[in-house]
Amino acid sequence: THESLAADTTTTAVCGYCSTGCGLKLHVRDGQAVGLTPETDYPVNLGMACPKGWEALRVLESDDRATVPKRRSSDGDLVELSWNDALELFCSKFKSIQAKHGNDSVAFLSTGQMPSEEMAFLGALTRFGMNIRHGDGNTRQCMATAVTAYKESFGFDAPPFTYDDFEQSDCLVFIGANPCIGHPILWERVLRNKNNPEIIVIDPRRTETAMAATDHVPLNPKSDLSLLYAITNELITNDWLDRSFIREHTHGFEQLRSHVARFDAESVARSSGVSADQIRRVAAKIGSGKAVSLWWTMGVNQSYEGTRTAQAIINIALITGNIGRPGTGANSITGQCNAMGSRLWSSTTNLFGHHRFDLAEDRKKVAEALHFPVESIPSEPSWSYDRILEGIRNGEIRGLWVVATNPAHSWIDQDDARELLNRLDFLVVQDMYESTETARHADLILPAAGWGEKEGTFINSERRYGMLKKVRQSPGQALADFQIFRAVAHYWGLGERFAEWTDPESVFRIMQRASVGSPCDISGIEGYEHIDRCGGIQWPWTAADAATSNDNIPPIQRRLFADGTFCYADGRAKLIVDEITPLPEVPDDTYPVMLLTGRGTVSQWHTQTRTSKSPVLRKLYPKDPYIEIHSSDAQSMGVFNGDLVRITSRRGSIVAAAMVTPTVRPGQAFMPMHYETTNRLTLSHFDPHSRQPSYKNSAVRIEKA
Ligand code: SF4
């Protein structure tokens, strides 16, 4: 822009929306960012950015930024108060609830949008300091399934890939993933692939990615697990296997073989809606590929048997030896910019640095790294997100601290979630904006700085630590979440315990100490300047790596398991299978349509908390809700494109405009998750292993409004 040309310096920071982790060059004048351009030298995006990244600065300027602490008065209005009074109110309310109802009666919900150091601080402050046992992240809504699947299959939550694999494969399989929309820069990496690759897309919708595929597999919603078992059966039957890899690096092949033998192509064709020929063709393409990569996102993760589905994908990569080599892998693409930071450092499901709460030696190691008493480290993980909400329902949880997330919009079965928020004795919302759906329920609002107004590290989908930089002043009295946590520690009486936690880089040093000897060891990183200089650094990067490398500069692209050694003690991965479970809600005469939800556009992010603030991004997306329905369904309802329709599920009823389109099949419909009303319809059902909500299968009725 004209302004950016007048900048007096530039610096590179990682984008704060999605897990791609693009590098953005910020043009700075007098200490304030005045423009940005995609960073051409950053190894992730190579000079590209999607509209959200381009507009990252604009959304910081919104009128509804939270700029001063506010509390809810007895007549329901929000009134300003000082930070001093706000922090005293917060601590006294939470302490009095704990005194009356027990320590476990207060909890927190956080985010995958904060830097790792802030996640580490929040987890340590609450769970090792404030005696708050229960807290979870909104990463439960996007990545919990992949975490559980990897941990059980590999022995560690270890996504094995690097983005270069998009360009190295000769066969890419996308399952429940629409990177054209969800991860557009990663899709650009696919387009750079010079191998003329097969691109197989397994998805009920004819998504933008499916339209570009060489083979779209339009299966019935949530028949993916049986389809993957049928493909596995074909691979085994035709001996399209890497038998030496199976023999030397895995457990459970015989069990896998006998389990999937029941899933012959003909019978799965009947249940999945995919022809037997297509099942065999896809298996043959995988079996004949020299470098096959399998990629999944929310179509798998957000489903009631997501963990086993993800493991069915992992099984295929393992038995065909497609792992640890260029262009291969069973690869979960994460959602949020720091979903992986949450997985590693939030101390909710996993103990600080992916240790185990239930192992005394892990608790001791973490306590030593943090210089905390070992008794301060609990021996159990937190309740999951859904269990915390159930705790509100039955009176176990009475105080809640919500940090940079918006459950009143994003949680499944929304009316119920909002009713639960209203039951709380005290709800604290810490956010950049005071207009979120969740903030409307708050008793206390703490104004937070956003992306670009603070520093720390994000970890992207390929395990790359990248730098978030402070290039602007936050508005009014808004503080970095890090500083809010530091202040809460002080007002709670924990200032001495957290004396070392003075700034994000000092917490990064603590994280490094805790990581030593684990698969995510980052002890070889010199510090923030080193990460910046190297264009991000993928974990692991150990002190030994640093000592043996040239000038401590890691290779730009590194993948895991190159030698076939996984993270279990014997180095072998597990092939895991399970019985298929029936759909929790099947369309019937009253609710005959299966509703799918998901990301609808490249220009909006999640609940639109930030992206709705950009006039440019708003122009790229319909303001009012719409629902995709097939022309045959539209015809039987007497509905034309653009007509308003009423959509009703067993949970609620909403109105949206009909978008008549062949992207969905008859009997199915799709609504973007970005609209406030969408989750009034969704069914509260969860993967039993990961407790991730199943957003992809709700039966609805659609009528002309
Ligand atoms: Fe890149 Fe994702 Fe940011 Fe878009 S939102 S610029 S794809 S990191």
Q: Per residue in 346-373, pLDDT tens?
A: 999 899 999 999 999 999 999 999 999 9
What pLDDT, on the 0 to 100 scale, is given for residue 606?
A: 85
SS3 683: coil
SS3 490: helix
Protein residue closest via CA to atom 6 of ligand 1:
53
Please tell me the distance from the alpha carbon of residue 613 to that of residue 173, in angstroms, as a whole number: 35
Q: Per residue in 605-623, pLDDT tens?
A: 888 888 888 999 999 988 8
Q: Is 334 in the pocket of ligand 1 (CB under 6 A)?
A: no
For residue 81, CA distances in Å to 3, 62, 404, 490, 652 come to 37, 21, 20, 18, 37
Instruction: Quote the DSSP letter at residue 172.
Output: E
Protein residue closest via CA to atom 4 of ligand 1:
50
Nearest to 632 by CA among 661, 674, 612, 590: 661
What pLDDT, on the 0 to 100 scale, is given for residue 705?
A: 92
What pLDDT, on the 0 to 100 scale, is given for residue 595?
A: 96
Q: Is 333 in the pocket of ligand 1 (CB under 6 A)?
A: no
Query: 144-332 falls under which CATH superfamily?
Result: Dimethylsulfoxide Reductase, domain 2 (3.40.228.10)
Q: Per residue in 54-102, pLDDT tens?
A: 999 999 998 999 999 999 999 999 999 999 999 999 999 999 999 999 9
Q: Is 15 in the pocket of ligand 1 (CB under 6 A)?
A: yes
Cα 130 to ligand 1 centre (Å): 35
Instruction: Give the pLDDT band (50/70/90) at residue 439.
Output: very high
| 431 close to 439: Cβ distance less than 8 angstroms | yes
For residue 596, CA distances in Å to 220, 316, 663, 694 come to 11, 26, 12, 10
Cα 148 to ligand 1 centre (Å): 26
Please tell me the distance from the alpha carbon of residue 31 to that of residue 36, in angstroms, as a whole number: 14
Q: Is 124 in the pocket of ligand 1 (CB under 6 A)?
A: no
Q: Is 466 in the pocket of ligand 1 (CB under 6 A)?
A: no
50, 54, 462, best to mutate for ligand 1 pocket (most atoms within 8 Å of CB): 50
12, 14, 17, best to mutate for ligand 1 pocket (most atoms within 8 Å of CB): 17
Q: Per residue in 553-567, pLDDT tens?
A: 999 999 999 999 999
Please tell me the distance from the alpha carbon of residue 181 to that of residue 208, in angstroms, as a whole number: 7
Cα 21 to ligand 1 centre (Å): 6
Is 493's pLDDT higher than 70? yes
SS3 149: helix
Cα 22 to ligand 1 centre (Å): 6
Is 264's pLDDT higher than 70? yes
What pLDDT, on the 0 to 100 scale, is given for residue 4?
A: 46
CATH of domain 2-61: 2.20.25.90
Average pLDDT, the chain: 95
Instruction: Collect all residues with Cβ–Cβ distance below 8 Å to 51 and sequence separation of at least 6.
Output: 602, 603, 616, 617, 620
HSE-up of 476 (CA within 13 Å, CB side)? 22
Q: Is 20 in the pocket of ligand 1 (CB under 6 A)?
A: yes
CA dihedral 96, 99, 102, 104 (to 10 degrees): 40
What pLDDT, on the 0 to 100 scale, is given for residue 5?
A: 52
Residue type, 679: N
Instruction: Give the pLDDT band (50/70/90) at residue 7.
Output: confident
What pLDDT, on the 0 to 100 scale, is given for residue 601?
A: 83
In the chain, the percentage of residues whose pLDDT exceeds 70 is 99
Atom of ligand 1 nearest to the CA of 16: 3
Q: Per residue in 314-353, pLDDT tens?
A: 999 999 999 999 999 999 998 889 999 999 999 998 999 9
What pLDDT, on the 0 to 100 scale, is given for residue 2?
A: 47
What is the interface pTM, i.e. ipTM, of the complex? Answer: 0.99
Please tell me the distance from the alpha carbon of residue 257 to that of residue 249, in angstroms, as a whole number: 16
Instruction: Collect all residues with Cβ–Cβ distance below 8 Å to 65 and sequence separation of at least 6.
Output: 432, 433, 434, 447, 475, 476, 478
Q: Which fold has domain 70-142+338-351+378-506?
A: Rossmann fold (3.40.50)
Q: Per residue in 511-561, pLDDT tens?
A: 999 999 999 999 999 999 999 999 999 999 999 999 999 899 999 999 999
Instruction: Give the pLDDT band (50/70/90) at residue 604.
Output: confident
Please tell me the distance from the alpha carbon of residue 471 to that of residue 483, in angstroms, as a whole number: 17
Q: Before 540, cis peptide (omega within 30)?
A: yes
What is the H or E stretch that residue 456 is in?
strand 453-459
Protein residue closest via CA to atom 1 of ligand 1:
22
Q: Is 50 in the pocket of ligand 1 (CB under 6 A)?
A: yes
Q: Is 56 in the pocket of ligand 1 (CB under 6 A)?
A: no
Q: Is 312 in the pocket of ligand 1 (CB under 6 A)?
A: no
Q: Is 66 in the pocket of ligand 1 (CB under 6 A)?
A: no
Q: Cβ of 329: how many Cβ atoms within 10 Å?
A: 26
What pLDDT, on the 0 to 100 scale, is given for residue 12?
A: 95
Q: Which fold has domain 593-704?
A: Barwin-like endoglucanases (2.40.40)
CA dihedral 376, 380, 381, 385 (to 10 degrees): -110
Min mean pLDDT across 376-380, 451-455, 673-677, 682-686 is at 673-677
Atom of ligand 1 nearest to the CA of 605: 5
What pLDDT, on the 0 to 100 scale, is given for residue 1?
A: 44
Atom of ligand 1 nearest to the CA of 21: 8
For strand 668-672 and strand 593-598, is the pairing parallel, antiparallel, or unpaired?
Answer: parallel
Instruction: Quote the DSSP letter at residue 383.
Output: P
Cα 11 to ligand 1 centre (Å): 17
SS3 505: helix
Cα 49 to ligand 1 centre (Å): 6
Is 250's pLDDT higher than 90? yes
Cα 53 to ligand 1 centre (Å): 5
Is 415's pLDDT higher than 50? yes
Cα 38 to ligand 1 centre (Å): 10
Task: Kindly list the domain boundaries of the chain, sorted by start residue.
Answer: 2-61, 70-142+338-351+378-506, 144-332, 593-704
Average the pLDDT over 386-406 and give the result. 97
CA dihedral 312, 314, 317, 320 (to 10 degrees): -60
| 331 close to 159: Cβ distance less than 8 angstroms | yes
Q: Is 221 in the pocket of ligand 1 (CB under 6 A)?
A: no
